[in-house]
Amino acid sequence: MTSINPNKYKLSEQTAKLTANALIPHVQKDSPETREFLHKVVELLVDYVNIQNDRSEKILDFQHPEDMKKLLNITVEDDPVSLQQLIIDCANTLKYQVKTGHPHFFNQLSCGLDVVSMAGEWLTATANTNMFTYEIAPVFILMENIVLAKMREYIGWKCGDSILAPGGSISNLYAFLAARHKMFPDYKEHGSKAIPGELVMFTSDQSHYSVKSCASVGGLGTDNCVMIPSDDHGKMIVSELERAIIQRKSIGQIPFFVCATAGTTVLGAFDPLNEIADICEKYGCWFHVDAAWGGGLLLAPKYRHPRLDGVERADSITWNPHKLMGALLQCSTIHFKEDGLLISCNQMSAEYLFMTDKLYDISYDTGDKVIQCGRHNDIFKLWLQWRAKGTLGFEKLMDHLMDLTQYQVKRIKEQSDKFYLIMQPECVNVSFWYIPKRLRGAPHDANLRAECGKLCPIIKSRMMESGTLMVGYQPDDRRPNFFRSIISSAAVTEADVDFMLNEIDRLGQDL
Amino acid sequence: MTSINPNKYKLSEQTAKLTANALIPHVQKDSPETREFLHKVVELLVDYVNIQNDRSEKILDFQHPEDMKKLLNITVEDDPVSLQQLIIDCANTLKYQVKTGHPHFFNQLSCGLDVVSMAGEWLTATANTNMFTYEIAPVFILMENIVLAKMREYIGWKCGDSILAPGGSISNLYAFLAARHKMFPDYKEHGSKAIPGELVMFTSDQSHYSVKSCASVGGLGTDNCVMIPSDDHGKMIVSELERAIIQRKSIGQIPFFVCATAGTTVLGAFDPLNEIADICEKYGCWFHVDAAWGGGLLLAPKYRHPRLDGVERADSITWNPHKLMGALLQCSTIHFKEDGLLISCNQMSAEYLFMTDKLYDISYDTGDKVIQCGRHNDIFKLWLQWRAKGTLGFEKLMDHLMDLTQYQVKRIKEQSDKFYLIMQPECVNVSFWYIPKRLRGAPHDANLRAECGKLCPIIKSRMMESGTLMVGYQPDDRRPNFFRSIISSAAVTEADVDFMLNEIDRLGQDL
């Protein structure tokens, strides 16, 4: 059990039994009940932030779905509940939520909780505006301009255009659409009949599945997204890329889009960007870099080279500040080297929404550049965080996360009887097996790996049931299940890394 | 000027000069500085909520982009700013933000600020999780299940499947993709070559431009999105739909998707759903209803009929609680009558992310159903709001908004010398012209309308410069610029409606 106590947060007797009808805007003057209600919610939230950072607290109190439904009263009914019940609802929700900011949560690419970014997101909620025009989001639109230009500067571009999207998958879709539009401007109006053959795209077999999804969504068919083999370290084999392009051209298809990944999901591998850029130039393909995961390292000179060398040659780049940089979910950016492409690709000329006879310089309006129309304000949390850390603060964070990863590698190697490091990581993903007692000293052959692989789901279940640790696992094309830990939370210390390994050992003792 | 005073929110002298490095998680134990910082941000936010509801406050303090940049220091630099500066940054941002919850803001489909939904979004930020699996969002995933099933119940379905998407445009894209997949399951793999002709889709000329965008994104080309004419009231002319389907079939194209709009963006018109459903049945087309705007009226028996009669015959329905229902931005839902379609359409079999050998019933995982991979948690703000209001509370809200709209219509008719009502509204959109003094009594001909149209941008500029009122305007195919006011905020009263009309008159006095 975590120490969130849903009965701790008592409203005054008078307020407790009221309903939301007693809050602003249903009461017209300055409202003490609204203040009391909101401050009580925040008391809970601030407690949660503190409890989450207490290492003696559990990460989660696991319940199976059917049990959870019985445990919590979470139906929605005809009648309102009281303000006090709403507070209890909030507390119960957090009591059973997985503490993704706990220092022992190594489970996702996005771990941790940046409290400044969180404060930014609270303000975003309160401002409750949409990002389509300067008219209704003036300060936020300017912040987008400033932050996105700064990011392009770190990519190495002096110009270009960018937009925030709801996640890396949609960012990749923007890149795909812009590439198709750039090469075949008639596609927008006339579709696939606009061109004399089938479009075909290329990405590595380690890339995020959203790249393949573009081929499905965009009507090419996943057949026309060629998955290029990767090497043992998860990097695209560039000679295979060239071979595939030549082969597809030979059957009359039109190669138009190559996605390189800078930081793969599982292994954290960086594709060789310069070599891929050369191929793209040679065959006239759009060069997209999916740096959703690895993009943060653009801010860290120590790691930028050699991993991201050549990134500036890309036509488009996905970069998610909600991953390595720790901005709150969601915060994903897509950048284009060529200005004007976003709008010419996505504009549907909805003059009834985006009028041109306005009071101000409408070049600041973004509504016509996007496939979303209304967009959530994803900039303020990042802008405020950037103010709070400074670019140098992000650099320090990257260095710190990478140092901790090297510490983990060192500790794994020092305990090579218990752990097997699959490869030297390039990012903060560490891939490894736990070797149970009965198999220690056995040769590292397929048999051992298969046995170690079988333990992953068992140990993971035990992690969740004990609530002490969260580390992910998965198989890949070459290997059975293996653990992949992620150090992307600023909360993690060397002691936490030791805890991770010790706890896996404790949970796997008897297997 | 609004009365947000950036210098009011003083941290203690000791905390003020610290940077974010002094906050959790950089300090490990319970942190008074973190509490102080967060409570100070909330003091500001709660003040803003109160000030926003003060009718004597301005809605905005308009500045041109270049002036705003000079006025505010919003660059991001190498070095961090102090905690006190972050608080000032937050206050400045709100000082110059447009108060979308002000009772005199009638500008967008989404107006108002539901403070319970806002509290929900604060919690969402603090929980900072992703919605792909039950593993990391157990309570939120169950809430999605419960609320989406409840919404399907109000649509009139006993089964089906649904998902939350980042805005109505992406919801419509989900519908388009599912329709194509249902009719041509091979399209996902083989693309347009899977079928023996061109796909063609149909929507009204009043529909949201995102429907046309689907044709572009999906590779059909916007040529293959046929815009069906609408009548004087903005409703699709169903005989024209049938004529277009027959015509397109006659040239060998394959009609597959018809979008009806329940609540158009400008006029708030409802297409005749039953008649369109008949046509879809007759020609074997998928029947999608874009009720992003009008969906809220499903909760109000008084208005559901006849506007939404036939909605239960749809194959898919977009419904945005962030519009009429007042949930915080963004909260958009897409519903499918057939269960299983979302996953078979969108699944890319990323076993490395969505493993099947888990501790719990993985049917609760949603990651494989969506084109986004990670999704923002958009459910909690709606769930908490639903708990707070009860379904009956939403019904009352709909009734109240519609009553106020009728009040506005009445007041416009009573002042027919000054205002011209373009049509009797079906939703909370009211379309009208302001008639300046010099033209009062003139015949309502094209000449008068053209003159009135020219005043819209001028009066709108004056609204923004005076900061007292926000009402949108736009032209359409039949008319020059006209005002379109929206009453979707629970803050609005009859007196506010009177204020709107009086203030337009005041601002237009001399024109």
Q: Do A31 and B50 touch (CB under 8 A)?
A: yes
Mean local confidence (pLDDT), B217-222:
97
Q: Are B481 and B104 in contact (CB under 8 A)?
A: no
pLDDT number for residue A2: 62
Query: Which among A352, A360, A369, A422 is the top mutation candidate for probing chain B, defined by the most B β-carbons within 10 Å of its own β-carbon?
Result: A352
CA distance B391 to B354: 35
Give the whole-number percent of chain B exceeding pLDDT 70: 98
Residue B112 lies in a domain: no
User: Same domain, yes or no, for B367 and B428?
Assistant: no
pLDDT, one tens digit per residue, over A132-158 is 899 999 999 999 999 999 999 999 999
Q: Do B212 and A115 touch (CB under 8 A)?
A: no
Domain containing A499 equals: 390-509
User: Same domain, yes or no, for B275 and B424?
Assistant: no
The three-class DSSP label of residue B202 is strand
pLDDT, one tens digit per residue, over A158-210 is 999 999 999 999 999 999 999 999 999 999 999 998 898 999 999 999 999 99
Q: How far is B161 from chain A (nearest CA, A)?
A: 18
Residue B107 lies in a domain: no
Q: Do B20 and A212 touch (CB under 8 A)?
A: no
Long-range CB pairs of B452-457 (<8 Å, 24+ gap) are B452/B420, B452/B480, B452/B482, B453/B479, B453/B480, B453/B481, B453/B482, B454/B480, B454/B481, B455/B508, B455/B511, B456/B481, B456/B482, B456/B483, B457/A355, B457/A357, B457/A358, B457/A359, B457/B481
Confidence of residue B491 (pLDDT cuts 50, 70, 90): very high
pLDDT, one tens digit per residue, over B243-286 is 999 999 999 999 999 999 999 999 999 999 999 999 999 999 99
Which chain B residues touch A143 with a CB distance below 8 Å? 74
Q: What is residue A131's DSSP assignment? A: S
User: Same domain, yes or no, for A270 and A363?
Assistant: yes
Q: Are A269 and A263 in contact (CB under 8 A)?
A: yes
Which chain A residues touch B457 with a CB distance below 8 Å? 355, 357-359
Q: What is residue B230's DSSP assignment? A: B
Q: Kindly identify which residue of chain B lies nearest to residue A177, measuring between CA atoms.
A: B217
Q: How far is A227 from chain B (nearest CA, A)?
A: 13
Query: Which among B123, B163, B343 is the top mutation candidate for probing chain A, defined by the most A β-carbons within 10 Å of its own β-carbon?
Result: B123
pLDDT number for residue B427: 98
**Residue of A46, A16, A58, A31 whose CA lies nearest to B122:** A46
Q: Please give the distance of CA A186 from its chain centroid, rounded to a whole number.
A: 33
Count CA within 13 A, CB hemisphere, residue A223: 15
Number of helices (H), then strands (E), in chain B: 16, 12
- Percentage helix, strand, coil for chain B under 3-state DSSP, each rounded to 5: 45, 10, 40
Euclidean distance between the first and final Cα of chain A, in Å?
26
pLDDT number for residue A350: 63
User: Same domain, yes or no, for B45 and B90?
Assistant: yes
- Domain CATH code at residue A440: 3.90.1150.170
**Residue of A467, A401, A49 whose CA lies nearest to B27:** A49
Radius of gyration of chain B (CA): 25
Residue A316 lies in a domain: yes
Residue A107 lies in a domain: no
Enumerate residues 6+ apart whose C-beta is below 8 A from A397: A324, A325, A326, A389, A490
Which among A78, A99, A120 is the end of a domain? A99
Which among B341, B376, B411 is the end of a domain? B376
Sign of torsion over alpha carbons B188, B192, B196, B197: positive
Residue B476 lies in a domain: yes
Question: Two tokens at A67?
Answer: 């049990």
Which among B376, B403, B421 is the end of a domain? B376
Backbone angles phi, psi at A2, to 5 degrees: -90, 165
Radius of gyration of chain A (CA): 25
User: Same domain, yes or no, for B246 and B358?
Assistant: yes
* Type of residue found at B494: E
User: Same domain, yes or no, for A80 and A139?
Assistant: no
CA distance A175 to A318: 8
Mean local confidence (pLDDT), B418-430:
98
Confidence of residue B353 (pLDDT cuts 50, 70, 90): low
State the ipTM, two decimals: 0.98
Q: Is the pLDDT of residue B1 over 60?
A: no
Q: Reading across the β-sheet that carries B105-106, which strands appear in turn?
A: B105-106, B470-474, B482-486, B429-434, B419-421
pTM over 0.95: yes
Count CA within 13 A, CB hemisphere, residue A498: 4
Query: Which among B372, B395, B458 is the top mutation candidate for probing chain A, defined by the most A β-carbons within 10 Å of its own β-carbon?
Result: B372
Q: Are B168 and B174 in contact (CB under 8 A)?
A: no
Q: Do B222 and A94 touch (CB under 8 A)?
A: no
Q: Kindly identify which residue of chain A lies nearest to residue B476, measuring between CA atoms.
A: A352
Residue A197 lies in a domain: yes
- Domain CATH code at residue B174: 3.40.640.10
Enumerate residues 6+ apart whose C-beta is below 8 A from A61: A1, A2, A95, A96, A467
User: Same domain, yes or no, for A343 and A486?
Assistant: no
The three-class DSSP label of residue B143 is helix
Q: Do A122 and B37 touch (CB under 8 A)?
A: no
User: Same domain, yes or no, for A343 and A401?
Assistant: no
User: Same domain, yes or no, for A168 and A261?
Assistant: yes
Confidence of residue B196 (pLDDT cuts 50, 70, 90): confident
CA distance B12 to B121: 28
User: Same domain, yes or no, for A85 and A218?
Assistant: no
Residue A437, CA distances (Å) to A36, A452, A461, A471, A511 in order: 56, 11, 19, 20, 7
CA distance A246 to A275: 16
pLDDT number for residue A77: 98
User: Same domain, yes or no, for B227 and B155?
Assistant: yes
Residue B110 lies in a domain: no
Residue B204 lies in a domain: yes
User: Same domain, yes or no, for A157 and A255?
Assistant: yes
pLDDT number for residue A28: 75
Q: Please give the distance of CA B221 from its chain centroid, rounded to a whole number.
A: 26
Confidence of residue B359 (pLDDT cuts 50, 70, 90): confident
Q: What is residue B335's DSSP assignment? A: E
Tens-binned pLDDT, residue by residue, of chain A (511 aa): 468 999 999 999 999 999 999 999 999 778 899 999 999 999 999 999 999 999 999 999 999 999 999 999 999 999 999 999 999 999 999 999 999 999 999 999 999 999 999 999 999 999 999 998 999 999 999 999 999 999 999 999 999 999 999 999 999 999 999 999 999 999 999 999 889 899 999 999 999 999 999 999 999 999 999 999 999 999 999 999 999 999 999 999 999 999 999 999 999 999 999 999 999 999 999 999 999 999 999 999 999 999 999 999 999 999 999 999 999 999 999 999 999 999 999 999 766 666 778 888 888 999 889 999 889 999 999 999 999 999 999 999 999 999 999 999 999 999 999 999 999 999 999 999 999 999 999 999 999 999 999 999 999 999 999 999 999 999 999 999 999 999 999 999 999 999 999 999 999 999 9
**Residues facing A225 on adjacent strands:** A201
Number of domains in chain A: 3
CA distance A378 to A127: 12
Say how many CB pairs under 8 Å bridge A and B.
531
